Amino acid sequence: MLALTFCTTAAAACGERVDAPTGPSSPASFAGTYALQTVNGAPLPYTLLDLGLFRLVIISDVLTFRNDGVVTETNTSDTFQQGIGTSRRTQTGVGSFTVRGNTVTVTWPVSGIYTYTRNGSLLSVFEPQFGATWVYRRQ
């Protein structure tokens, strides 16, 4: 996540927009914590955006899915601005989710609806704005 707050930092929308599914499974079947492991197959920290004078680096990203259908994302990123330096920022966003089979649909109030795919202990999402695939592992 995709990154709800990374998108806010970079002033871009993240994730693949889809229509919400009907007949969702119980969120309790999916509850748990997932930590970002890779972006486009590369480990963290990951440089998501590098414009020369500005750089955004993902340090960590954690998604926590609760039994009641609420998801929380907490991420830490470094921004570098030439002439200003580097600053570290941790942000938290809250959304809702539904589960249907191996598909988890998350609605982030700021950035929209995104589809994550579960494969065993892994959860992945494609973020088209940066052309990045984010892979999380259940903790």
**Cβ–Cβ < 8 Å for 24, 97:** no
Residue whose pair of structure tokens reads 């039994």 in the numeric block: 67
Whether the model clears a pTM of 0.75, i.e. scores above it, the answer is yes
Please name every residue paired with 135 in a beta bridge, in sequence order, or none if there are none: 38, 124
Average pLDDT of the residues of the chain: 86
Distance of CA 134 to the CA centre of its chain: 7
Distance of CA 113 to the CA centre of its chain: 12
Position 101 pLDDT exceeds 80 = yes
Which of 19-23, 50-54, 64-68 is predicted least confidently? 19-23
Residue 28: which pLDDT band, with cuts at 50, 70 and 90?
confident
**Which residue segments constitute the domains of the chain, with CATH numbers given?**
4-138 (2.40.128)
Is the sign of the CA dihedral 43, 73, 14, 20 positive or negative?
positive
